[in-house]
Copies of this chain bind each other. A is one copy, B any other.
Amino acid sequence: MFTTAFQIRVRYAETDQMNVVYHANYATYFEVARTESIRKLGFTYREMEAMGIEMPVTEITMTYLRPARYDDLLTVETVLRELPDNHVISFHQEIFNEKKKLITSGKVTLFFLDRVTKKRTVMPEILREKLKAYFN
């Protein structure tokens, strides 16, 4: 299992007139946290795209339990439970507020695609090597 945590401060732009974070923005928080999760391995999603692999989201589920508000400092936990052995990868993600209350939980599934052909491919070996240590 590979688990990381990243903090995100709620921006004014991300609130709506209900005085809370607009629900679609949590998908962006999840994406930012996945990016930082990979960075902690000493690799970046940007490098992966430069290598010719992209990772479009193919499914997302989000459950909203409590509202987050402007200027809240949120902690996004990102968990990779299984090392993928094909073109599919899934992350479980949870967002907590400063009082450690669960705000939103979700699951995001992405594909590994070849950027040019758009055909399914697999996780690049360089990333698999770095992740292996967390799964045995």
Contacts and interface: CB of A to CB of B under 8 A. Distances in A.
A27 B18 CA distance: 17
A69 B56 CA distance: 14
B35 A71 contact: yes
B18 A16 contact: no
30 contacts: A9-B32, A11-B31, A11-B32, A12-B16, A12-B17, A12-B22, A12-B31, A12-B35, A13-B31, A16-B17, A17-B19, A17-B69, A18-B54, A18-B56, A23-B27, A23-B56, A23-B57, A24-B27, A24-B28, A27-B27, A35-B71, A45-B71, A46-B70, A46-B71, A57-B64, A58-B63, A59-B61, A59-B62, A59-B64, A60-B61
